[in-house]
């Protein structure tokens, strides 16, 4: 069985700037919420990431939500964290996803369970996110399970990982990306970018090492809803780099106009980043603000999406 | 060493309240070093319990003894002659000592008086930190001598995860990021090129996951 490549992979292969977005599954068994969110994004993105119990809050499984999205004719990116499942469950879910025609996967370690609603739960971490990338690539390319047995029909997955260009320690930002590429990651979605100068510097070093030729990097963009959100992201969210200047631009804007300002800044940022060497697309994460994604995509000049 | 911490006295009272003759059994090894279950702690706890039962008008006799080790047949035999005089043993040894005592004296209730916490080291008096999870297959040679299994909250083998901030773990400012420590060591030793080697999937069969473990050394068995 030869499966066609995912839309995301094809868009990237053809050198278009890809656009992805992200939705969180509902905290209940009614799928209508995820369906409504996905409908909002439908014509403006190439693929939609479906988060996997993000911030360790228990939700509908990413795989089930991906199936709902897929049934709408949209392309999901299955997010998989290594926190909750061992290598048996992970391999098994990859096969399950492939059986539903899901063709993109993003491998993550997942936030620690102490941030979520099951603080007293165990975490698994049988393998880590890079090893999950390796595992899925092995299943796909070698057609084998980790245990060595042949997989009857291997899963066709386009395999991605996350990267934080602003992460500590500074000295391993590029080596760590190189390691992800070596593990087999084919696309990278980055942490939200607010400090464009630093991101551009990171990208320059990515290009210097030639990593942009081995992996497709999608810049993570999240519009700020308010000055309050900017301050929170700056001070409270680990690994986030929010320049004072951005906080000030939002604080200097009247409250009722801050949301629009946030959108405008996001559009401006995308326009600036579109020009940089080696960047292959954007991952627009507008959490609980999905209705704004079409406006951002259109005004940033990323619409219409190419027909493949 | 094995690091243990005292159980709250209320919990101890709750577990022993139905017994009248209790042997409070300390251990001279790890729990003495971490000041949770040695001779001194046995004395202090025994006095507190006697006081409590006296004030509550309950006749409970508490006797004290501290063995050289509770994880050794030889020393545990020392109480064989007296064990039947007690309704229960309250052991201040680690979980190993409690179980070894229970194994040996089948009909005597043996109750834990401490919480066994981890394999760790003394940072300074009163502060102990975890260093090892006894996974059974040591990887310290390739991680700069710092263990990601015991010291990383996600036991990431190719770290750090995205949550590492200013050298601290995403759990918060009180926890060092193990991978920051690993990188510091690799840098100091001039071995940063090793960082880019991918760690293979770990074989957890020698860990808890593989079931109860045994070490057998035929060369020294008699
Ligand atoms: S921040 Fe560091 S120690 Fe904490 S989970 Fe991530 S890699 Fe492990």
The domains located in chain A, with CATH, are 7-299 (3.20.20.220)
- Percent of chain B whose predicted confidence (pLDDT) is above 70: 100
Per residue in A217-231, pLDDT (tens digit) is 999 999 999 999 999
- Summarize pLDDT for A25-59 with one digit per residue, the tens: 999 999 999 999 999 999 999 999 999 999 999 99
3-state DSSP call for residue A204?
Answer: helix
Crossing angle of the two packed helices A173-183 and A129-141, in degrees rounded to 10: 30
Q: How confident is the model at residue A79 (pLDDT cuts 50, 70, 90)?
A: very high
Q: Return the residue whose CA atom lies nearest to atom 7 of ligand 1.
A: B160
Q: How far apart, in whole angstroms, are the C-alpha atoms of residue A188 and residue A106?
A: 8
Q: Is B150 in the pocket of ligand 1 (CB under 6 A)?
A: no
Predicted local distance difference test score (pLDDT) of residue B34 = 98
In B, minimum Cα distance to A163 occurs at: B162
Instruction: Name the token pair of A210.
Output: 């030639």
Spatial distance between the Cα atoms of A256 and A262, rounded to a whole number of angstroms: 11
Using the Cα atoms of residue A239, residue A245, residue A249 and residue A251 in order, give the sign of their dihedral: positive
State which H helix or E strand residue A80 sits in: strand A76-81
Contact B27, B93 (CB under 8 A): yes
Kindly give the number of the ligand 1 atom that is closest to the alpha carbon of B154.
Answer: 5
Closest CA to B61 of B24, B33, B21: B21
Partner-chain contact B158 A128, CB within 8 Å:
yes
* CA–CA dist A142, A144 (Å, integer): 5
Q: Which of A83, A131, A162 sits opposite B162 (nearest CB)?
A: A162
Q: How long, in residues, is chain B?
A: 222
pLDDT surpasses 80 at A298 = yes
| Tokens, residue B63 | 């006797």
Query: What DSSP string runs through B194-221?
Result: GGGSPPPPP-GGGSGGG-S-----GGG-
3-state SS assignment for residue A219: strand
Length of chain A: 308
Q: Whose CA is nearest to atom 4 of ligand 1?
A: B169
Mean of per-residue pLDDT scores for chain A: 96
Calculate how far, in angstroms, residue A197's C-alpha sits from the geometric centre of ligand 1.
26
pLDDT at A1 over 60: no
Instruction: For chain B, positions 134-193, list CB contacts with chain A under 8 A.
Output: 153-167, 170-171, 177, 180, 183, 187, 192
pLDDT tens per residue, range B124-152: 999 999 999 999 999 999 999 999 999 99
- φ, ψ for residue B131 (rounded to 5)? -135, -20
Q: Encode pLDDT of B1-48 as tens digits.
A: 999 999 999 999 999 999 999 999 999 999 999 999 999 999 999 999
Q: What residue spans of chain B are helical by DSSP H?
A: 9-16, 30-33, 39-55, 73-76, 95-104, 148-151, 178-188
Spell out the domains of chain B, with CATH numbers in brackets: 2-118 (3.40.50.2300), 135-203 (no CATH)
**What gap in Å lies between CA A185 and CA A169, rounded to an integer?**
21
pTM for the whole structure? 0.96
3-class DSSP state of A136 = helix
Contact check, Cβ <8 Å, B157/A128: yes
The whole-angstrom distance between A304's CA and the closest CA on chain B is: 33
Task: Give the nearest partner residue to B155 out of A125, A129, A162, using CB atoms.
Answer: A125
**Does B196 contact A at CB distance below 8 Å?**
yes
Residue A9, Ramachandran bin (φ over 0: left; ψ between -120 and 50: alpha; else beta): alpha
Chain A residues contacting B via beta carbons under 8 Å: 82-83, 87, 109-112, 114, 123, 125-131, 134-135, 146, 162-164, 167-169, 171-172, 175-176, 178-179, 182-183, 191, 238-239
Distance CA B36, CA B38 (A): 6
Residue B155 Cβ inside 6 Å of ligand 1? The answer reads no
At A237 the pLDDT is 85
Mean pLDDT within B187-198: 95
Q: Convert the pLDDT of each residue in B147-187 to its tens digit.
A: 999 999 999 999 999 989 899 999 999 999 999 999 999 99
Ligand 1: centre distance to CA A303 (Å): 39
Q: How far apart are CA A101 and CA A158, in angstroms?
A: 12
């Amino acid at each position: 069985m030869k499966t066609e490549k995912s839309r995301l992979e094809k868009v990237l292969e053809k050198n278009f700037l890809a656009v992805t977005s992200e939705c969180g599954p509902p905290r209940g068994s009614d799928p209508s919420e995820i369906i409504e969110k996905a409908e909002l994004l439908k014509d403006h993105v190439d693929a939609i990431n479906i988060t996997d119990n993000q911030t360790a809050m228990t939700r509908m499984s990413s795989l089930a939500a991906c199936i709902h999205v897929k049934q709408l004719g949209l392309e999901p990116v299955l997010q998989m964290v290594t926190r909750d499942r061992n290598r048996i469950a992970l391999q098994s879910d990859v096969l399950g996803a492939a059986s539903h025609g899901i063709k993109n996967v993003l491998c993550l370690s997942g936030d620690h369970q102490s941030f979520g609603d099951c603080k007293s739960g165990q975490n698994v971490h049988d393998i880590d996110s890079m090893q999950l990338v390796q595992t899925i690539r092995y299943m796909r390319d070698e057609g084998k399970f980790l245990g060595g047995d042949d997989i009857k029909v291997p899963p066709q997955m386009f395999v991605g990982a996350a990267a934080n260009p602003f992460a500590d320690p500074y000295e391993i930002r590029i080596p760590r990306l190189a390691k992800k590429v070596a593990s087999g990651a084919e696309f990278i979605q980055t942490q939200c970018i607010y400090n464009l100068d630093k991101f551009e510097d990171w990208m320059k070093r990515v290009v210097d090492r030639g990593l942009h030729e081995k992996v497709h990097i999608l810049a993570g963009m999240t519009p700020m809803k308010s000055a309050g959100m900017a301050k929170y992201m700056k001070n409270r969210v680990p690994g986030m780099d929010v320049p004072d200047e951005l906080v000030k631009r939002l604080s200097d804007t009247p409250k009722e106009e801050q949301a629009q300002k946030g959108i405008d800044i996001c559009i401006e940022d995308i326009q600036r980043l579109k020009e940089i060497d080696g960047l292959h697309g954007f991952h627009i994460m507008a959490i609980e603000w999905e209705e704004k994604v079409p406006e951002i995509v259109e005004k940033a000049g990323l619409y219409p999406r190419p027909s493949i | 060493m094995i690091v243990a911490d005292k159980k709250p006295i209320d919990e101890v009272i709750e577990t022993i309240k139905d017994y009248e003759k209790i042997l409070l059994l300390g251990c001279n090894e790890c729990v003495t070093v971490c000041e949770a279950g040695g001779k001194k702690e046995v004395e202090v706890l025994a006095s507190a319990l006697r006081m409590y039962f006296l004030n509550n008008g309950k006749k409970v006799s508490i006797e004290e003894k501290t063995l050289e080790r509770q994880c050794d047949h030889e020393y545990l035999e020392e109480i064989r002659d007296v064990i039947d005089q007690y309704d229960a043993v309250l052991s201040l040894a680690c979980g190993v000592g409690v179980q070894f005592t229970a194994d040996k004296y089948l009909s005597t209730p043996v109750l834990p008086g401490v919480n066994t916490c981890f394999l760790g080291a003394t940072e300074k008096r009163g502060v102990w930190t975890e260093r090892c999870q006894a996974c059974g297959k040591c990887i310290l040679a390739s991680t700069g001598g710092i263990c990601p299994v015991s010291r990383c909250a996600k036991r990431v083998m190719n770290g750090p995860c995205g949550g590492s901030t200013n050298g601290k773990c995403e759990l918060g400012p009180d926890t060092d990021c193990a991978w920051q420590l690993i990188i510091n060591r690799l840098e100091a030793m001039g071995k940063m090129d090793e960082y880019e080697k991918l760690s293979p999937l770990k074989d957890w069969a020698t860990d808890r996951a593989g079931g109860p473990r045994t070490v057998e050394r035929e060369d020294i068995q008699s």
